[in-house]
Amino acid sequence: MNYFQLTKPQISDYERDGYLIVRNFLSFPEIEKLYGIATGDAILSKHAFDLNDGTGKKTKLTLWYNPGDDAYGLLTRSRRIVEAADTLLDGDAPVCHFHSKLMQKEPRVGGAWEWHQDYGYWYKNEFLFPDQMLSVMIAITKATKENGCLQVIGGSHKMGRVEHGFAGEQVGAMQRYVDLALKTMPLIYVELEPGDALFFHSNLLHRSAANLSATARWSLISCYNRQTNIGYNEPNGSHTVPVHVVPDEALMEWTTTGVQESSGFLEKDKDEALK
């Protein structure tokens, strides 16, 4: 397996744009294995919940805090992701995993995500340093305009945190600032092939439209944080536990399964802060 490392131009692109797309981050056999496990994963389905968007359409996801030895955990903990996060995050404390979400945007019903910054949510959890938090989205299926791929406003992470209010069961950025950002910076549709990765800053404005197509859009989003960036109002301690890194080969070579009950799932009714 090739040793993956971000290049200097990739790092500069991330700093300038607040996001970075890495094509073929996972090989075809890796994504095939992950997709096979995810689609037959009874524990994943058991802990999935629906989130209403502003129009009452539902989007389904499963969220957990502790990455284990299951297929998703081995990817989330793989050297290539953790080292890339370490390169892109501000500071030098160990990299921790905050949480992962398996997004299951089903055909014709998968609801929209309103314009927001992840730090719009995480600020409410009283994290102080947005530059020490980022997310990595791995496309498990193709993500296209038609099936509601992620949209981002390039460079919007440089605006700092925008005020957020509620939009359906989600949190949405103040429309006036979204409109101004759209007038000033480019809107990008992040179309991905299975196995592509998107790294994005916690203050990058992003959203996605409903999936009105006939194909599902599934992705894994893992969020990382520096150990010294404490979420004073975040009950789960995962975000200060350094990631136990595994070799990139683990996903293919280790015996693995679907997500485990010990992963620490978010149950929607118990917690109003969804991320």
Residue 123 binds to ligand AKG (criterion: CB under 6 A): no
> Collapsing DSSP states into helix, strand and coil, what is residue 181?
helix
Residue 205: which of 164, 167, 148 has the closest Cα? 164
The H or E element containing residue 49 is strand 49-52
Contact flags string 147-176 toward ligand AKG, x per CB under 6 A: ---x--------------------------
Question: Which DSSP string corresponds to 107-153?
Answer: TTTB--EEEE-HHHHHTTTT---GGGEEEEEEESS-B-TTTT-EEEE
Nearer CB in complex with ligand AKG: 113/199: 113
Residue 97 binds to ligand AKG (criterion: CB under 6 A): no
Closest distance of CB 103 from ligand AKG, Å: 4
Nearer CB in complex with ligand AKG: 208/225: 208
Residue 208 binds to ligand AKG (criterion: CB under 6 A): yes
Size of the site for ligand AKG (CB under 6 A): 9
Residue 221 binds to ligand AKG (criterion: CB under 6 A): yes
Closest distance of CB 244 from ligand AKG, Å: 24
Residue 256: which of 120, 51, 73, 55 has the closest Cα? 73
Selected binder of ligand AKG within 118, 196, 234, 248 (CB under 6 A): 118
Nearer CB in complex with ligand AKG: 185/205: 205
Closest distance of CB 8 from ligand AKG, Å: 28
Residue 166: which of 8, 273, 22, 11 has the closest Cα? 273
Residue 134 binds to ligand AKG (criterion: CB under 6 A): no
CA distance 91 to 40: 39
Q: Are 155 and 15 in contact (CB under 8 A)?
A: no
Residue 206 binds to ligand AKG (criterion: CB under 6 A): yes
Closest distance of CB 121 from ligand AKG, Å: 8
C-alpha distances in Å from residue 138, one per residue of 55, 185, 262: 27, 25, 23
Angle (CA) 115-39-265 rounded to 5° is 60
| Burial status of residue 39 (CB atoms within 10 A of its CB: 0-12, 13-18, 19 or more) | middle
Residue 113 binds to ligand AKG (criterion: CB under 6 A): yes
Q: Which residue is nearest to ligand AKG (CB)?
A: 208
Nearer CB in complex with ligand AKG: 118/248: 118
Closest distance of CB 249 from ligand AKG, Å: 28
Chain residues binding ligand AKG by CB under 6 A are: 103, 105, 113, 118, 150, 206, 208, 219, 221
